[in-house]
Chains A and B, each alone.
Chain A
């Protein structure tokens, strides 16, 4: 500025420009520099530069030799380009159609993108959604009226949406449509402190980012594995919450429902009541065919909208407000939930104001998370289907509630083995029979994947046959025949089937046995009697004939049936419960069946220290007064 240009043509003008530019740069680099006046000055210099470029000094230059003039113009252009590029203020050159024509180095830094990234995009795409309409108005007004406008708005920068002051300055060159120069003037943007630091230690920064991502993936895996026992919606919800927190984004999970329709499963966002309300509003809207998530599901391809220009990218909310706007989101990343075979839905992340936009670098991580979630859904559904089947079968093995026979009290219980997770082979049942009632207990011996099915078949076959025939011997004979027509390998069934009927004030028990341990008859005074048992297991021999026994029961009598898991239970001293069975029962003669089976169970579990090597089943029937 000290060198005063004295109207000696372009050469001195450029030298002056150069000097003033250097001084401006120094001033901007001073700590605490106030960007506003600097900007004004920079803009003024730019004006001067534009004026110098526009050939109004035609006569002057033409007077000189043609060649020299052309070379000088070229040098000027280079200088002007450098001035624009290196100006200490972020600058955008915007075309008449509102798209970015050029950005300088400071602006690239501000956006956190490489040079050329912004070129060709609508300038408003870099403005935070809430301030976008106002910004568009300012830009249009500046272009129309040819005046400088200043306003504040949120700019989507490398560090998220940050409020900045913008100055829009129209620039027109001869014969060309008006351009706008937008200068960004806020302290954070003008200074490069933060990014400078980043550049100083890129290694540490990268390692930190990778560690963070690894931590996230591990936390996500843990959630999925831990939630195996919960329902799928719970797992998805927890997963979404984790991602929302760790990735600082809205997380929208859409899952393919019945009829292959994509429906919104869950939405998570920042903590807080307001965010929760917003999440609920978004969760209430299923993805529409025009929306990003829907298209991602259809195409199976990831969708990355680093700067969401179209507010309808996620579809509209209940009140017609675009969801993107409702969430204040400006950057969207949507990946398919696929395990490579089946598409289960879509995972969509949307970053809100104040956080960096999504980049290509995020795509890999989020796709990985999506695949992980898809695998978890698959495993969970498979697991759940099997659990459901097992549950259904278990209820078909053992009645949920024992049916009560008039004039008696009955209680049954089953305890699974602790040493092996095998499907149950024990069963018991109480059922109406022809001319009376039936009770049955049995044990499918021998293991196989379909043990539960065999057990259920045995129980229900007994029930069905007893409906037709009051003779329990005929019932067991029928079961033997049925089992022999199938190949069950070495498996066989031991069982008792009893028929009960009131005869002249006494309950008559007709008991048929097929290789099952004999029941105990417990009298009210504590006397015990082992009933016979006998017979042969069902399903091995065509000629096996059940053993039979007829017993008249008096009021107060208890018939105690069990499977061999009860008697073979033993403690560390290898003494089996069988040796104590009648003693224990004798002490319980006055108890109701419910209390009796509970007590016996407790004694057995105590004896074996909770380590039951085979499942055990008990059924106790106590005779009351006749109806």
Chain B
């Protein structure tokens, strides 16, 4: 319950959202609100998770929700710098293999606008 700090910056056509701290049942709501705000003006988003110390499945659901909507609208949402030890839920759920995941923000930017990073797009049916 250390709380989080979230900020965003422009970089090469992406909006990079930097999250620091713990993403849990309390803070994931703020994370969600922040992403809603960012998406008003941006179609290509990179979420920098390198300073995240904890991530629960609820926070993961926030990411999945935005990822589904962004990709359905033709945009991209990539995750960068996630550390296995602190964001284990990404791997336990198997979503690390399905969401566009990059070593670092640099790698995500270098990949350009890779769509979904090779993963199948979510169906909204």
Contacts and interface: CB of A to CB of B under 8 A. Distances in A.
Interface of A: 417, 419-420, 422, 425, 443, 445-447, 484-485, 487, 489-492, 494, 515-517, 533-537, 540-543, 564, 568, 574, 578, 611, 613-614
A445 B25 contact: no
A566 to B, nearest CB: 12
B24 interface: yes
Contacts of A611: 1
A419 B62 CA distance: 18
Given A540-B68, A543-B120, A564 B57 contact: yes
B73 interface: no
B24 A613 contact: yes
A517 B25 contact: no
Contact of B53 (A420, A515, A574, A578): A574
Contacts of A537: 93-95
A374 to B, nearest CB: 35
A535 B1 contact: no
B107 interface: no
A613 B1 CA distance: 8
Contacts of A489: 61, 65
A515 B94 contact: yes
B56 A568 contact: yes
Contacts of A613: 1, 24-26, 56
B61 A490 contact: yes
A540 B57 contact: no
B6 interface: no
Contacts of A491: 61, 65
B92 interface: yes
B39 interface: no
Interface in B110-125: 120, 122-125
B64 A533 contact: no
Contacts of A516: 92-93
Contacts of A533: 92
Contacts of A425: 58
B25 to A, nearest CB: 5
B20 interface: no
A564 B92 contact: yes
A485 B125 contact: yes
B24 A446 contact: no
A540 B94 CA distance: 12
Can you list the 7 inter-chain pairs with the closest CB atoms, starting with the nearest? A490-B65, A446-B61, A445-B57, A515-B93, A490-B64, A445-B61, A536-B94
A420 B63 contact: no
A533 B92 CA distance: 8
B58 A447 contact: yes
B98 A484 contact: no
Contacts of B24: 419, 613-614
B38 to A, nearest CB: 15
Contact of B57 (A422, A487, A494): A494
A564 B29 CA distance: 19
Contacts of A445: 57-58, 60-61
Contacts of B28: 447
B89 A419 contact: no
B95 A536 contact: yes
B116 to A, nearest CB: 11
A425 B28 CA distance: 15
B110 to A, nearest CB: 27
Contacts of A542: 123, 125
B66 interface: yes
Contacts of A543: 120
B59 to A, nearest CB: 9
Contact of A541 (B1, B60, B122): B122
A540 B122 contact: yes
A168 B83 CA distance: 103
Nearest to B66: A490
17 contacts: A445-B57, A447-B58, A484-B125, A487-B124, A490-B62, A490-B68, A492-B61, A494-B57, A516-B92, A540-B98, A541-B122, A542-B123, A542-B125, A564-B56, A613-B25, A613-B56, A614-B58
B54 A568 contact: yes
A484 B92 contact: no
Contact of B25 (A492, A536, A614): A614
A443 B53 CA distance: 22
A516 B124 CA distance: 23
B89 A564 contact: yes
Contacts of B61: 445-447, 489-492
Contact of A447 (B25, B89, B94, B123): B25
Contacts of B93: 492, 494, 515-516, 536-537
Contact of A419 (B25, B67, B94, B123): B25
B62 A446 contact: yes
B13 to A, nearest CB: 24
Interface string B59-92: 0111111111000000000000000000011001
